[in-house]
Amino acid sequence: MNILHNNAAGKSNNLDAFFADFEDYDLNQWKEIMDTNLTSMFLVAKEVGKVMKKQRKGGSIIQTSSIYGILAPDQRIYEGSFYLGRKINTPAIYSASKAGVIGLTKYLATYWAKDGIRVNAITPGGVESGQNDTFKQNYSNRVPLGRMAQPEEMVGALIYLASDASSYVTGQNIVVDGGLSAW
C-alpha cells in the first residue's frame, strides 16, 4: 500500500509578526503561514496522488490538521501563557489554514475515491511542545482527560488510517484531543 502522511505546520521566523493581534496582522505574514500550512499540503498531495493514481494500487493519504481547524481557541487560556519565553496566542491564520486542510481532505477523498485512494485527516488537540506551565494548566483545565497530549499519542490514529483496518474510511477527520471537542 502507498502511504503519505502529509504533515505541515509553521509559525514564522518572526514570532512578533506571527503572534500579532488580528487587527494588526500583516498580509505577507498571513500568506507565508497559509503557504506553509495549506499550500504545501496541496502541492505534496497533488504530486503523491498523481503517482498513486498512475500505479493503480490505491493508497492512503493522511493529512494533519489541528483542533483549531474545527474549534476556535478559547482566548482565556492565553492569559499568562508563554511559548519559548514569548507571550502567545493562536492567530486567525493558523485556524483558517488548518480548517482548509480539512476541506482539502474531504475534497480529495471524493476526487480520488474511484482510484482507491483514501484521504483522511488527523486532528490533534494541544500537544506539549515548549509551552509554559501556566499555558499547560489553562489548556489542561479545558480537556476532560485533564492534560495536554504527548506527540507519540498521535501514532495510533496514524497507524489506523495508514492500515487496511481503515479500508472503508475516507473523507474523515479523526480528532485526538483528550475530549476537548466533546465540551
Q: Which residues are catalytic?
A: 66, 94, 98
How many CB atoms within 10 Å of residue 162? Answer: 20
How many CB atoms within 10 Å of residue 7? Answer: 16
Contact 26, 20 (CB under 8 A): yes
Helices (H), the chain: 15-18, 27-34, 40-55, 92-112, 133-140, 155-162
CB-based burial label for 135 (10 Å; 0-12, 13-18, 19+): buried
Q: C-alpha cell of 86?
A: 514569548
